């Protein structure tokens, strides 16, 4: 297919870039390896409250994505989901463009490209004791809280996701136990204090050593064994959430000739990469003073689209005026 602008990544930054490209009158295609729009927010924490988006004191991840999808619908974009961009043919010059080949063999011809791929493709870090239990009582992500009502839940991890899920599950679960291998946490200090003040049991210097079920090897999960500083304890559990973080991989992006630094794409103030007609925005970018927030990604998306618009049509202006102007 052919379009003015191809966006690689359909997370919040990519969705806002899609809206803004439509506002600039550009035709848009959006590529993402996930089956749904929203990127990591949809895949990992759709029910998590987000507090740092301007204008929203508290917005759930799912609701934020729904709003962004509705906003982006005005662009009439073509969404190419469950497809990974595998190769890039970059042609500089006034009549240049980009050819993006996807893993299903389809090809996108565009006049410019914006990479908004977050941290790239990601996969959860495994819980060694949980081998064979995925989907049978153990999960890596929490797409919704209702299935955990009146259940004993064990959460493994010490980061923001682990503590956020502990806070949200504590009012509805029968019990919540948080297990972490160290006595220090990576989560925000305020969140840690909230969990400490709740009924959540926190076990530190601890690790889950076994998941145990009833009714034979394929029976439902009933309890977990935990080593707490050398002492073996058992906790009831019908659900285990392994919130151990994830491994990020830029994948084929690393072979496209874009300058990288610490697995991020280096950009200038206009969100340009070292390749002409190739821009980037959001968490995947790197520059002096970079702050990785959703709010930052929105501004970078607008900057990238406005500068790409001039590359696509040299008679255009970088700043098109405000959307509120007639």
Quick one: fold of 126-242?
FAD/NAD(P)-binding domain (3.50.50)
pLDDT value of residue 283: 92
The dotted CATH code for 2-122+246-312 is 3.50.50.60
Pairing of strands 97-102, 107-115: antiparallel
pLDDT value of residue 93: 82
User: Going by C-beta distance under 8 Å and a sequence separation of 6 or more, which residues neighbour residue 313?
Assistant: none
Percentage with pLDDT > 70 across the chain:
96
Segment 301-313, tens digit of pLDDT:
999 999 999 999 9
- 91-121 in b/e form (b: 16+ CB < 10 A) is eeeeeebbebebeeeeebebbbbbbbbbbbb
Nearest to 172 by CA among 195, 196, 190, 145: 145
Asked if 213 contacts 222 with a C-beta cutoff of 8 angstroms, the reply is yes
Alpha helices for the chain (secondary structure H): 12-23, 39-44, 61-72, 160-169, 189-196, 294-312
Segment 254-299, tens digit of pLDDT:
889 999 988 899 999 999 999 999 999 999 999 999 999 999 999 9
Segment 103-143, tens digit of pLDDT:
999 999 999 999 998 776 667 888 999 988 998 899 988 87
- Give, rounded to a whole angstrom, the gap between the first and last alpha carbons of the chain: 33
Segment 42-91, tens digit of pLDDT:
877 777 788 889 999 999 888 999 999 999 999 999 999 989 999 999 88
SS3 of 90, please?
A: strand
pLDDT value of residue 49: 82
Residue 251: pLDDT band (50, 70, 90) is: confident
Q: Per the annotation, where are the binding residues?
A: 13, 32, 40, 45, 85, 122, 283, 324
pLDDT value of residue 325: 62
SS3 of 295, please?
A: helix
> What value does the mean pLDDT take over residues 148-157?
96
SS3 of 38, please?
A: coil
Q: Per the annotation, where are the binding residues for FAD?
A: 13, 32, 40, 45, 85, 122, 283, 324
Q: With 60 as the cut, is the pLDDT of residue 326 above it?
A: no
> What value does the mean pLDDT take over residues 318-324?
74
pLDDT value of residue 324: 62
Strand partners, 134: 138
> What value does the mean pLDDT take over residues 85-101?
91
Q: What is the mean pLDDT of the chain?
A: 91
- SS3 for 220-271 is CEEEEEEEECCEEEEEECCEEEECCCEEEECHHHHHCCCCEECCEEECCCCC
Residue 215: pLDDT band (50, 70, 90) is: low
pLDDT value of residue 48: 78
Annotated domain spans of the chain: 2-122+246-312, 126-242
pLDDT value of residue 122: 66
- The C-alpha angle 65, 318, 67, rounded to 5 degrees, equals 10
pLDDT value of residue 206: 97
């Amino acid at each position: 297919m052919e379009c003015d602008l191809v966006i690689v990544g359909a997370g919040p930054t990519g969705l806002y870039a899609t809206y803004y490209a439509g506002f600039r009158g550009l035709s848009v295609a959006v590529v993402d390896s996930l089956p749904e729009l929203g990127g990591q927010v949809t895949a990992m924490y759709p029910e998590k409250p987000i507090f740092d988006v301007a204008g929203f004191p508290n917005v759930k991840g799912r609701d934020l994505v729904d709003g962004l999808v509705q906003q982006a619908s005005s662009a009439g974009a073509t969404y190419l989901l469950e497809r990974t961009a595998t190769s890039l043919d970059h042609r500089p010059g006034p009549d240049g463009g980009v050819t993006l080949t996807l893993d299903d063999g389809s090809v996108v011809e565009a006049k410019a490209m914006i990479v908004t791929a977050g941290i790239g493709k990601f996969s959860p870090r495994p819980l060694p004791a949980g081998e064979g239990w995925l989907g049978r009582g153990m999960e890596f992500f929490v797409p919704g809280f209702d299935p955990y009502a009146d259940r004993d839940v064990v959460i493994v991890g010490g980061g923001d996701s682990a503590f956020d899920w502990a806070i949200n599950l504590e009012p509805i679960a029968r019990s919540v136990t948080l297990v972490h291998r160290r006595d220090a946490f990576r989560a925000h200090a305020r969140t840690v204090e909230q969990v400490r003040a709740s009924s959540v049991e926190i076990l530190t210097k601890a690790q889950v050593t076994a998941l145990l079920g009833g009714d034979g090897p394929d029976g439902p999960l009933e309890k977990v064994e935990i080593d707490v500083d050398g002492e073996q304890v058992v906790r009831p559990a019908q659900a285990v959430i392994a919130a151990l973080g994830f491994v990020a991989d830029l994948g084929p992006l690393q072979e496209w000739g874009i300058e990288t630094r610490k697995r991020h794409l280096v950009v200038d103030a206009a969100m340009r990469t070292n390749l002409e007609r190739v821009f980037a925005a959001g968490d995947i970018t790197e520059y002096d003073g970079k702050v990785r927030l959703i709010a930052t990604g929105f501004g970078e998306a607008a900057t990238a689209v406005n500068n790409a618009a001039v590359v696509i049509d040299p008679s255009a202006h970088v700043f098109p005026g405000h959307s509120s102007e007639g």
